Amino acid sequence: MSGRTDLHCHLLPALDDGPVDDAHAVALARALIADGVTTVAATPHRTTRLATPLPDLFARLDYLRALLAVNDVQLDVLSGSEVAVDALIDMDPAEIQALRLGGTGPLLVELPLGEAFGDPTWPIHQLLDAGTPVLIAHPERIPLIQQDPTLLQALVERGAHAQLTSGALIGRYGRTAQTCALGLLDAGLIDVIASDAHHHERRPPETSAALDWLATARPNVDGAALAVHTPAVLIPPQAPVA
């Protein structure tokens, strides 16, 4: 399988818990290519405490593209962020649009990885109501979704897409996340697999391994659709500048 588009990856150097420096970013980019990725969205965390000003974020993206070119790394890098759901509440609408994957794709949104009170999905419903496409990051790792998958189902029924993380399928995040991942796939709630890679060795791209595992665990699942076709379709081409 080739030509994979990875819609969730912490590739920008020295910005979040991704690569600590340029060398690590280049190493992660090479690991992505070795795993079959040709296009990747650089999705640093964006939270209430980590909100890099947009000009700085896009300057960092340009810097990474130049860094990869200088190092002869052939990888297309799209803009984006992984936006914590509570950060959405006070976010300017123009900022939300600027953070969509590749500028034209969905907004990658992360639900709380820890304990949550009530239903924290309401800002996502508001986004969907306003016509902004949404990609839910790794629902299989979210305790709230593990306990009540109907919260994800309600979002998907209103047009949201959901992204499994490759490592979760092969057990990197524990049995509960793995079981949840398969359950969400079986329920038809997942349409994208991405790496959520952070480091070329410690949290590497593992989508090839995940697809191999899935081919045995769920032979009926179309891995190419999850890892190649749908991720590409979710990023429409930019309109030509007049």
Binding letters toward Fe ion, positions 139-178, x by CB under 5 A: ----------------------------------------
**Residue recorded with tokens 């009530």:** 118
Among the listed residues 6, 35, 196, 206, the single contact to Fe ion using CB under 5 A: 196
Phi-psi region at 185: left, alpha or beta (left = phi > 0; alpha = psi -120 to 50)? alpha
Burial label for 50, CB within 10 Å (0-12, 13-18, 19+), is: middle
Among the listed residues 6, 16, 35, 82, the single contact to Fe ion using CB under 5 A: 82
193 neighbors 223 (Cβ within 8 angstroms): yes
Q: Confirm or reject binding of residue 6 to Fe ion (CB under 5 A).
A: no
Question: From the CB of 186, what's the least distance to Fe ion, in Å?
Answer: 24
Stretch that binds Fe ion, among 49-57, 70-78, 167-175, 189-197 (CB under 5 A): 189-197
As given in the structure block, the two tokens for residue 227 are 């890892």
**Residue recorded with tokens 């990747």:** 40
Question: From the CB of 174, what's the least distance to Fe ion, in Å?
Answer: 17
If the CB atoms of residues 26 and 42 are measured against Fe ion, the closer one turns out to be: 42
Q: What's the CA gap between 235 and 5, in Å, rounded?
A: 10
List contacts with Fe ion (CB under 5 A).
82, 196
